[in-house]
Amino acid sequence: MKIKDKVIIITGASSGLGREIALHLSRSGAHVVLVAQSKERLTKVGAEIEKITKEFPLIVCCDVTSEDEVAGMTARIKEKYGYVDVLINNAGIGVYRVSEEISNQEMRRHFKINFYGAYYCIKALLPLIKTQEAGYILNIGSLFGRIVPFADVSVYAATKFALAGFTEGLRKELKPQGIGVGLLMPGSINTPFQDKKEKTERKAPAFLTLEADRVAKVIEKMIQRNKKNIILPKWMLQLFRIIAILR
């Protein structure tokens, strides 16, 4: 799929990886739709894109854990474009603590954003994707959705395992309709997501941390080539397996 002139929805687009994806795909000629909760941050990213494209993108304030707000977001996109080419489910959170120390409320919040948020967006936007008789859905997972090498990622990993399983099944469901479904499983990324971790939480060392612009480039290639699953970087999965055995 060519990126130019494609309508691409990006959740969690107000900062971090979502912002970098939006800027990168805008440079490639896409019509990006920025979705997040903070209007102020979305507006700032929109202004950055306007400098690139000379056109302010559609921004939609939406809590992806709310079915009503997701329905409202879908209505706005339908009114503006009438269809969707690509959906990138990037919104997510992660608190790294052992499950005994995570409250039930925090556990539910992880699932609401990391899994249910993606599910709600797919269900709501799929009719607009189907109008193209083609399209692509990309779920941003994690290496922790394949292997759990550390004791403090159990809840976060559970949400990413769920997302990975759903992605595999959804791919089979939508293949006959010409819609591709991909899963990106990156290691730690140098974004505010890392900066927000508490002092007691483990942070990835610099040499294991990916830069957001590199990840955005990989995402563009996934869209172009209708990729199924990509682990980034590939060698880190082997490292995690070794760590898991040693622990």
Residues assigned a catalytic role: 156
Residues in the chain: 247
**Residue in the structure block whose two tokens are 């967006």:** 121
For 230, the token pair is 């990509």
Coil, strand or helix at 246: helix
Phi, psi of 133 (to 5 degrees): 55, 30
Peptide bond into 233 cis (omega under 30): yes
As a whole number of angstroms, the distance between CA 153 and CA 20 comes to 25
**Which residues is 137 bridged to in the sheet?**
87, 181
Q: CA-based angle 162:3:163, to the nearest 5? A: 0
For 60, the token pair is 């939609």
- Distance, CA of 15 to chain centre: 12
Give the largest CA-CA distance in the chain. 54
End-to-end CA separation in angstroms for the chain: 43
* Single-letter amino acid, residue 85: D
Taking the CA of residue 35 as centre, how many other CA atoms within 13 Å lie in the half-sphere pointing to its CB? 27
Q: What is the DSSP letter of 196?
A: T
